[in-house]
Structure 1
């Protein structure tokens, strides 16, 4: 019975976790839509908000609207007029003291992570962590700024050390380049290996 029970867990656990993650993500998207609709309903007259109240209660509408909004924004952003408006929008945001710091930082991170020409998460490496007698898998994210490089003297690189089993959190570190061992596996296979706590080997190994 114990063997059967464990086999059942191995079948249902991945499915349950997958459903939980999808449900959590869909809940966030629905929450974004719900907040926008609630704001509209609040400022509009009561008689004109009845269709909106019924529309908001339809399951999945929030997800479709968010996806449509993202695609429409992307279509506009790649046009000449869209790029011009984006530059104007960024100039306005960059003149607001607190907003300027937050927006510029987030934009730089998103451009680095999502751009196909960026360095972020392009290479899996091995580094010594948390002490000299142990190793962990990390991801190279770039190279130090000029001031840091000049003060360190020897070549260093930026690495991100993800936590297990949640790789979205972790540690940013600057390590000597000659102490890093590059891996031939892909970033995707390295992430799978980290999330599985080392139980799932990379493809072909």
Structure 2
């Protein structure tokens, strides 16, 4: 019975070493798996349409992962380059004019294009800041991503009393890909210094991985608004 504490200590060390190794290996393995899965998916879509004389696999007689993805990236880049000149813009406008005449397709195309333009626009301020709002009841605070000021009809109707409204995205834990879009008064939002990436880590980990925070000397800390 005298060596029981040593056995427990050894088991504890083995468990800690295993958990440490799991933390190191699991994200790496998942990242590699997702990367190769995406490459295989892109290859399965593009490779069948590549003429044999332009396919490197035809000459080397081996499967080269990423060939289809590389060709797709090159073609998309060329299309983007051509789409910036006068002739390219004319072709794009002509193609869009055809799509806009199709009742169902035009709605799908317009929605998807708007989403991509919003996400990929370099000057976009979407999801570049994090904040706190009182949710679901006063005294309880939830982390949100700032999507931008209210616009259009929403701004016209909500800003009628002079209070500026801001759109925020409230994601759940631990999967922040779904959530609620809400419009709240700007004065009710407590802005945070953490980046959206750090906020996502905080959500996914359930609050276990909090970003480091060092207050700047001389600057007052944020004061939460009174409920």
| Both proteins in one fold, TM over 0.5 | yes
Query: 2: distance between equivalents of 1:93 and 1:143?
Result: 31
Query: 1: distance between equivalents of 2:54 and 2:129?
Result: 51
The superposition leaves residues 77-96 of structure 1 with CA deviations (integer Å, 9 ceiling, x where unpaired) of 22232222222222221121
Counterparts of residues 115-194 of structure 1 (less than 5 Å): 115-152=121-158, 153=160, 154-194=163-203
Query: 1: distance between equivalents of 2:85 and 2:40?
Result: 32
Q: CA deviation at 1:111?
A: 0.9
Going from structure 1 to structure 2, the CA distance change for 1:28 and 1:125 (only over 3 Å counts) comes to farther
Paired position in structure 1 for 2:36: 23
Query: 1: distance between equivalents of 2:39 and 2:134?
Result: 38
Paired position in structure 2 for 1:45: none
TM-score where L is the length of structure 1: 0.78
Question: Higher mean Cα deviation, 163-172 or 90-99?
Answer: 163-172
Q: CA deviation at 1:204?
A: 4.9
Going from structure 1 to structure 2, the CA distance change for 1:62 and 1:91 (only over 3 Å counts) comes to same
Contact 1:112-1:119 at 8 Å conserved across structures: no
Going from structure 1 to structure 2, the CA distance change for 1:132 and 1:32 (only over 3 Å counts) comes to farther
Query: 2: distance between equivalents of 1:191 and 1:94?
Result: 37
Query: 2: distance between equivalents of 1:50 and 1:8?
Result: 46
TM-score where L is the length of structure 2: 0.71
Contact 1:123-1:183 at 8 Å conserved across structures: yes
Question: Higher mean Cα deviation, 97-106 or 180-189?
Answer: 180-189
Partner SS, residue 124 of structure 1? strand
Query: 1: distance between equivalents of 2:175 and 2:167?
Result: 20
1:94 paired to 2:100: yes
Structure 2 gap segments, 5+ residues each = 1-13, 215-227
Query: 2: distance between equivalents of 1:26 and 1:145?
Result: 39
Report which of the two structures shows the higher radius of gyration computed on alpha carbons.
Answer: 2
Q: CA deviation at 1:137?
A: 2.0
Query: 2: distance between equivalents of 1:91 and 1:109?
Result: 19
